[in-house]
Structure 1
Amino acid sequence: MLSRLAYRINAALERHLPEQRLFLKSDRETRFIRLRPATQAIALVGGSAALAWTIIATAIILMDSISAGSGREQAARQQALYEQRLNALSEDRDTRADEAASAQERFNLALAQVAEMQGRLLASEDRRRELETGIDVIQNTLRRTIKERDEARARVEEANVALASNGAPKTEAGRAKDALSTVDILAQALASTAQERDVMEGAAEKAAERAEAVMAEKKALQARNNEIFSKLEEAVSVSMEPLDKMFREAGMSPDDLLNQVRRGYSGQGGPLTPLSLSTKSSEASVDEARANAILQGLDRMNLYRLAAFKAPFAMPVKGSFRWTSGFGYRRDPKGAGTRMHEGTDMAGAYGLPIYATGDGVVTYASWDSGYGRLVKIKHEFGIETRYAHMSAIRVNVGDRVSRGDRIGDMGNSGRSTGTHLHYEIRIGGRAVNPMTFIKAANHVF
């Protein structure tokens, strides 16, 4: 049965592939190899399959090389765009810093002007009180003089009545002499009173002119005061806006934050206590209210400054580095599938210094499995920062560090694929994106 099937197949293929014989001749004998049509067909199919496989493999290799080249180019373009964006963020940060410095200079200048204006207002207030006292004295003197004049006139009338009713005999010459003496006394008293009145009127006119001059000066000072207050209010508003924005973008409530700082710094006194320029127990004036509002703004700025230095608003690396992995879910570099990356990675040179990003206390400084050499710093407001994969640790547990203190060196310890720093920020034990704090600090620092 099989032989018949083979015969039929050979007979069908012989039309296209006739039987071939390959002769092999030697010195003694000649042999040949007979290639049947089926054998030739099998050889032809096998060769064609080998050629097709070679072509397909070559095409796959070429496509892989082309895609790898385009992938590298795309990665290079993305890296260039990322570097451009980082440069733009750096320039924006420098601009914000210049604006903050300029606003601080304007604020210092306006504060000096307010101090000078307050001194002049106090001097003007003293001069006004002195003038009021002088005017009161002059008016009392005038009233006393008028009273004395009236009393002298009354005595003269009483003397005239006594002379008229006196029954003692007097001559005409005596009565005339008494009348002349009385008239002389009255004339002298009236002349003295008139002279004193003229002097007092002149003093009163001078006091009124001086009071008008003081009032004009006071109005000019009030206008200048209003201008200075406007500049101060603008400076405080400009200085407060980036600070408020920085904390809000970091996901922290400014009011809650300031309340915590205020509880830690609850002492009273100093140059920022409320002003009180009034000498009477009356309500505060408009200027006092504005000055107190400005001082409250300055107090808020001071609390913001304290909070900013206690929170991690800084870069842990200051040298040359590149961002290699951000916060969020990613494919694990060790091939463990998709996992949550709870920090951000910064790759740099081995041994690159690592700095604390805020004031705090070191709570951990040792080896921790996947983290490698790890440092944990506890900050205020329930914030904790972590610095992992270091090559060396330069602090101990319990050390109190300040922003910018060196705490270790960049390395490749623990579960790591290369030299880098793994930087984490946790609030209340929950990991948050460190780039939120880094970008928020660009508004101020």
Structure 2
Amino acid sequence: MRIKLAQKLHAALERRFPEKRLFLRSDTETRFIRLHPSTQLVAWAGATLTVGWTITATAIVLMDSIGAGNFRAQAQRDQMIYEERLNALSQERDLRASEAAAAQERFSAALETISNMQSELLASEERSREMETGLGVVQGALRRTMLERETAREAAERLELALAEGGSLPGGADAQAIENTLDILSGALADTAEERDSLAEDAELAFEQANELQLELRLMTERNDEIFRKLEEAMTVSVEPLGDMFRAAGMDPDSMLKQVRKGYSGIGGGALTPIQFSTMGGHAGHGAHDAERANALLDRMDEINLYRIAAEKAPFGNPVNASYRFTSGFGQRWGRLHAGADFAAPIGTPVVATADGVVTEAGWASGYGRLIKIQHEFGIETRYAHLNKIRVKVGQRVSRGDRIGDMGNSGRSTGPHLHYEVRVGGTPVNPMTYIRAGKDVF
């Protein structure tokens, strides 16, 4: 059975690959090589595999080249979108800052106007009280004078009656003297009545002025409430993204602010001191409410200032402000931890500090190549490796955005790029957490 199967297979090969002879001739002899069907089959299969492998490898290389080109184009488009987003956010931040500054100026002007209005109102009320007191005194004197006039009139009538009856004046009184006294009293009464009318007019005018001032004060209070409301909304819009930025980076905002406040506790002439309103004139409740709202706004402004200081000391910035390609992230790579993020760009691309700090190392460090280490607040350290040039020295203080070196290819590196690390308490963390947290604020 096997022999028959072998014979059939051989016959099939003979039909497809008939036996051939290859003659090799020289000057002295002629030789030939017999090509059996099996030999031809092996040669044909080998040639087919070689051609197929060549075609497949070429297709893979072309697809990889096309894919890499698409990836680079996509990375460039993402970079452009990211930069446009950063520019838009920066413009929006500047707009918010200018709005906050303008609102603060309006708030200060409103406070000054309210203070002047309060002073005028208090002065008007004081004048009104003085007029009321003077009017009361005049009315008392007028009542006494009128009583005395009535008494004198009754006495005069009795005297006239006695004279008409032909009697004598009691006690030898002189009728002319009594008439003179009556004239004096009548003149005094007329002057008193005139003065009373004048004081009444002054009091009425004072009341009208007081009512006008109260109306102006009420309108000013309404405008003041509107200003307070807008300022409170602006403060909320400004403070909440800052707190979200710290929380997104895994940091406790309250602890950060407490630590910054402890380091910036000095007070000078420009400190944000609490506002106090006068409580005279029966406006203690409203003035205390305005003072409470104003001091709350000052506290939020102080909180924004503390956030700004904390943000400058934490690495929320991007180490490369120029165009770059993000080539490798934080995490396991080839069985070991890649403790940072890689940013690829041409040699000489500026590398900047991502936060305020002090340079603790600047030199060659084995696989890192040229390395810069910067110590920041809150136990945070940043590292910048594979540099082509170092532009800072150990002990030098740097600020966020300062150029500290140039991108290069030193150390264990396969091409020009920056290896950027963030370490908290000596433990490496994902630096993109900080960069992504700060991209919507800075």
Q: Same fold per TM (> 0.5)?
A: yes
CA shift, 1:228, in A, is 1.4
Residue matched to 2:129: 136
- Relative to structure 1, the CA distance from residue 105 to residue 32 in structure 2 (aligned partners, 3 Å threshold; closer, same or farther) is closer
Per the TM alignment, residue 120 of structure 1 is displaced from its structure 2 partner at its CA by 1.1
> Aligned pair in 2 of structure 1 residues 19, 224: CA closer, same or farther (>3 Å)?
closer
Q: Which residue of 1 aligns with 2:227?
A: 228
Specify the alignment match of 1:3 in structure 2: none
Paired position in structure 1 for 2:139: 146
The C-alpha deviation readout for 1:399-431, integer Å capped at 9, x for no partner, is 111122222222211111122111111122221
SS in 2 for 1:409: strand
Structure 2: distance between partners of 1:223 and 1:67: 74
Matched residues in 2 for 1:151 and 1:26: separation? 166
Tell me the equivalent position of 1:59.
52
The total of aligned residue pairs comes to: 420
Change in CA separation of 1:441 and 1:27 when aligned onto 2, cut-off 3 Å: closer
Secondary structure of 1:361's counterpart equals: strand
- Say if 1:23 and 1:103 are closer, same or farther in 2 by CA, change over 3 A: closer
Q: Give the equivalent residue in structure 2 for 1:414.
A: 411
Q: Which moved more, 1:223-232 or 1:285-294?
A: 285-294
Cα deviation for residue 90 of structure 1 reads 2.1
Segment of structure 1 superposing worse, 347-356 or 120-129: 347-356
C-alpha contact (below 8 Å) 2:19/2:37 kept by paired residues: no
Report deviation, 1:438.
1.8
* Match of residue 125 from structure 1: 118
Contact 1:149 1:189 in 2 (8 A): no
Taking the aligned partners of 1:59 and 1:369, their CA distance within structure 2 comes to 45
CA RMSD of aligned residues (A): 3.6
Give 1:302 shift.
Answer: 0.8
1:275 corresponds in structure 2 to 275
What's 1:399 paired with? 396
Q: TM-score, normalised by structure 2?
A: 0.84
Measured after TM superposition, the shift of residue 287 of structure 1 is 2.3
Matched, 1:294 2:297: yes
Compared with structure 1, are the counterparts of its residues 32 and 356 closer, same or farther at alpha carbon in structure 2 (3 Å cutoff)?
closer
> Given that residues 152 and 182 in structure 2 are in contact (C-alpha distance below 8 angstroms), is that contact kept between their aligned partners in structure 1?
no
The structural deviation recorded for 1:157 is: 7.9
Q: Aligned runs of 1:360-375 on 2, under 5 Å?
A: 360-375=357-372
Q: Given that residues 379 and 424 in structure 2 are in contact (C-alpha distance below 8 angstroms), is that contact kept between their aligned partners in structure 1?
A: yes
Shift in alpha-carbon separation, 1:99–1:241, aligned structure 2, 3 A: farther
Q: Is the 8 A contact 2:352 2:400 kept in 1?
A: yes
Q: Alpha-carbon deviations, 1:373-395, whole Å to 9, x = none? A: 11110111111110011122222
Within 5 Å, which residues of 2 pair with 1:11-410? 43-152=36-145, 170=169, 174-268=173-267, 270=270, 272-279=272-279, 285-331=288-334, 338-410=335-407
Per the TM alignment, residue 130 of structure 1 is displaced from its structure 2 partner at its CA by: 0.8
Query: What is the identity, as a one-letter code, of the residue corresponding to 1:285?
Result: A
| TM-score for both structures, normalised by structure 1 | 0.84
What secondary structure is seen at the aligned counterpart in 2 of 1:83?
helix
Partner-residue secondary structure (3-state), 2:362: strand
Instruction: Find the aligned partners of 1:62 and 1:180 in 2 and give their Cα distance.
Output: 146
1:4 aligned residue: none
Among 412, 417, 421, the residue aligned to 1:424 = 421
* 1:59-101 deviation per Cα after TM superposition (whole angstroms, max 9, x unaligned): 1121111112112222222232232222222222222222222
Query: CA separation in 2, counterparts of 1:50 and 1:20?
Result: 13
Structure 1 residues 226 and 22: alpha-carbon distance in aligned structure 2, compared to 1, 3 A threshold: closer
Cα distance in structure 1, aligned partners of 2:80 and 2:251? 27
- The aligned counterpart of 1:335 is none
Deviation at residue 210 of structure 1 after TM alignment: 0.6
* CA contact 1:354–1:407 (8 Å) conserved in 2: yes
CA gap 1:295/1:16 in 2 versus in 1, 3 angstroms: closer
1:348 partner letter: A
Q: Tell me: CA distance 1:268–1:279, structure 2 relative to 1, closer, same or farther (3 Å).
A: farther
1:97/1:241 Cα in 2 relative to 1: closer, same or farther (>3 Å)?
farther
Please tell me whether the aligned partners of residues 79 and 324 of structure 2 are also in contact (alpha carbons under 8 angstroms).
Answer: no
The verdict on how the C-alpha distance between 1:215 and 1:390 changes in structure 2, with shifts beyond 3 A counting, is: same
Against the structure 1 CA distance between its residues 45 and 300, is the aligned structure 2 distance closer, same or farther, given a 3 Å change threshold? Answer: same
> 1:249 & 1:16 partners in 2: Cα distance?
73
Structure 2 distance, partners of 1:342, 1:64, is 35
Q: Deviations over 1:277-330 (max 9, x none)?
A: 133595663322222222221111111111111112222223332222111122
The one-letter amino acid paired with 2:330 is: F
Structure 2, unaligned runs of 5 or more: 1-5, 159-167
The alpha-carbon deviation at position 182 of structure 1 amounts to 2.9
**2: CA distance, partners of 1:410 / 1:82:** 19
State the one-letter code of the partner of 2:412.
R
CA contact (8 A) 1:310 1:379 kept: yes
Q: Deviations over 1:194-223 (max 9, x none)?
A: 111111111101101111111111111112
Q: Is the Cα contact below 8 Å between 2:340 and 2:420 reproduced in 1?
A: yes
Structure 1: how far apart are the matches of 2:63 and 2:292?
67
Preserved contact between residue 358 and residue 396 of structure 2 (Cα < 8 Å)? yes
Using the aligned pairs only, state the percent identity: 43
| AA matched with 2:224 | N
- 1:204 and 1:15, CA in 2 relative to 1: closer, same or farther beyond 3 A? closer
